[in-house]
Amino acid sequence: MLTEIADVTHNEGMSNTPADSSRRPAGVPTFVERVRAAGLGDFFRPRQLEAAGFTRDQLRSLIRSGTVERIGRGLYRIAEAEPTEHYSLALACARVPESIVCLLSALRVHGIGTQAPAEVWLAIGHKARIPQVSELRLRVVRFSGAAWNFGVKDTEFEGVRARITSPARTVVDCFRFERLLGPEVALEALHDALRQRLVTIGELSRVEEVLPSRRLRAALDTRQP
């Protein structure tokens, strides 16, 4: 089952003040080193920091010193971390951890087609609450049943753990959500993914068997020898 449910908008901002380590004794791990050792990425929540051995008072001190910056409600970021092109994806996945990067955002990550979405496209479970994120623009759809796991893989953006649809699954979804994206986007994704050999007809067919799309099936049939 697939349902588009929301558009959530706004801006994002950040500073980049380096941490002051002048008082740190030699051999003592830095804050960033301790965070990394605890398996955390550039973004984190207070409870995650507590699990890494830091108190709330220490978090407030880190914010005052410029080592940590507050990104949004209950979400923080290592200030010295250099933002990458996937900053918005990292922020979105940190704010909505039970989500899947999909459709136009997944196309962009995989380097398929020419789409440059202004929003971050995420899928959430069919019973999940609509995320309220003021720091950036989201386009949210729902996945349920086999769509929640089939053709979905683990990844990370700026150290933030995330899930994303595979290249083949992403192309199939472009046809399944054709009413949102338009037929041109779906066909471009199919042709470009095949041209770059990011997917095969066999891979697409296997995904389409689980998550059917008559339009995609017709397009694949014309390419069969």
Dump pLDDT digits (tens) for 68-100: 988 777 888 888 888 778 989 998 998 898 999
Domain(s) of CATH 3.30.460: residues in the chain: 2-10+86-221
The pLDDT assigned to 22 comes to 47
Adjacent-strand bridge partners of 68: 78
Do 163 and 154 contact (CB within 8 A), yes or no? yes
Q: What's the confidence (pLDDT) of residue 94?
A: 87
Contact 180, 108 (CB under 8 A): no
The answer to whether 4 touches 134, Cβ cutoff 8 Å, is no
Q: Which two tokens stand for residue 188?
A: 């471009």
- Predicted confidence band of residue 224 (pLDDT cuts 50, 70, 90): low
Average pLDDT over residues 102-122: 96
For the segment 15-23, the average pLDDT, to the nearest whole number, is 45
Inform me whether the pLDDT recorded for 13 exceeds 80.
Answer: no
Residue 125, pLDDT > 90, answer yes
Give mean pLDDT, residues 16-41: 68
Percent of the chain residues topping a pLDDT of 70: 87
Look up tokens 């970021």; give the residue. 77
pLDDT at res. 23: 59
Tokens of 214: 């008559």
pLDDT value for 9: 39
How high does pLDDT run on average in the chain?
A: 86
Class of domain 2-10+86-221: alpha beta
**pLDDT tens per residue across span 132-162:** 877 789 999 999 999 999 999 999 988 788 9
- For the ranges 28-42, 95-109, 151-165, 209-223, which has the lowest average pLDDT? 28-42
Residue 4 in tokens: 């588009």
Does the pLDDT of residue 17 top 50, yes or no? Answer: no
Of 65 and 24, more confident = 65
Share above pLDDT 90 across residues of the chain, in percent, rounded to a whole number: 56
Let me know: does 121 contact 8? Beta carbons within 8 Å.
no
Question: Tell me, what's the pLDDT at 99?
Answer: 97
| Confidence check: pLDDT of 126 > 50 | yes
Q: What's the confidence (pLDDT) of residue 41? A: 81
Sheet arrangement for strand 75-78? 43-44, 75-78, 68-72
Task: State the pLDDT at residue 21.
Answer: 44
Would the pLDDT of 8 be above 70?
Answer: no
The C-alpha angle 164, 110, 162, rounded to 5 degrees, equals 25
